[in-house]
Amino acid sequence: NAGVTQTPKFQVLKTGQSMTLQCAQDMNHEYMSWYRQDPGMGLRLIHYSVGAGITDQGEVPNGYNVSRSTTEDFPLRLLSAAPSQTSVYFCASRPGRRVYEQYFGPGTRLTVT
């Protein structure tokens, strides 16, 4: 198993550009989430999904879109990047209701200039 994979590892965007951060897991996990990590702020939840076709907003959803068309993939879209979205983004997956361990991807470091 590759676990949770994220691409790209690093990305630099100009303000107003759009891009998609990719997240995939090969463990057949039901739950997937996106977090952002900013200095001194810990990790904050952006969006999450409890299954294919089901997504919901977390604590800081503004400026981000998600969809979950398959169990494996959970992409995060930035429609019009802003400097405030400069952050490290982590994708996580969790098997399902009865198992509470979250498996994290290696992260994507995004800089918006």
Footprint of another protein (CB under 8 A)? 31, 33, 35, 40-45, 48, 50, 58, 88, 90, 92, 94, 97, 100-104, 106-107, 109
Comparing CB distances to another protein, the nearer of 63 and 104 is 104
Q: Where are the beta strands (DSSP E) in the chain?
A: 4-7, 10-13, 19-25, 31-38, 42-51, 54-57, 64-66, 76-78, 87-94, 103-104, 108-112
Cα–Cα distance measured from residue 36 to residue 29, given in angstroms and rounded to the nearest whole number: 20
Comparing CB distances to another protein, the nearer of 13 and 31 is 31
Comparing CB distances to another protein, the nearer of 59 and 80 is 59
Q: Minimum distance between the CB of residue 31 and another protein, rounded to whole angstroms?
A: 4
